[in-house]
Amino acid sequence: MPNQKVPERTIAVLNLGRRCLLTLTNKHLRGQMLRLVDGHGLADGRTLIKDQVDILLSGIAGYTIEHKNNFFKRVVSAIITGVAFFFIAKPFIPCFFDSPGKDAGLIFGINIAFAAIGAILGWLCYPDRYAFSINIMGSYTLIPIVRSQSPVVQDFITKLQNAKIAYEEM
């Protein structure tokens, strides 16, 4: 009976904490999410807005995980903060020794250690960014995620793709 009405059933739930809670059924994608939009809220000129979604699967045009590699920013930040820590610590370290000229190697080693700490802190300031990108009726929505959530989101994307194919074949 091809005209028989198929009941709606839940296929998957994407729960990313406060960032996203989406429920995928065999007909709809429903839930709420924090999405990135252009604005002046975050450091990169974007802001987060809480949004509701309830759309038929036919209204979803694309979905992917976007990865922004910040390697160049991390390297530059590590160099700048490492050099800054080296020169900031340089005048203060000799004050802790009785004869500053005698322990020049030790003082230089301590300055290098401070520079290494600064470089590590600079490196950690710019992690890679990930976002779940979904095209809903021609409007791209970016949902920020962390790297550890990528496999969960990829599994949800696979289920979404399969559900969309099955919905279009009905």
Q: pLDDT-derived band of residue 40, with 50, 70 and 90 as boundaries?
A: low
pTM above 0.85, yes or no: no
Residue 59 has pLDDT above 50, yes or no: yes
CB atoms within 10 A of CB 144: 20
Q: What is the mean pLDDT of residues 115-122?
A: 91
Q: 78 with 120: CB under 8 angstroms?
A: yes
The sign of the dihedral angle between the CA atoms of 137, 30, 155, 148 is positive
- Would you state the pLDDT for residue 117? 92
The overall longest dimension of the chain from CA atoms, in Å, is 95
Q: How far apart are alpha carbons 98 and 168 in whole angstroms?
A: 81
Burial class (CB in 10 A: 0-12, 13-18, 19+), 115: buried
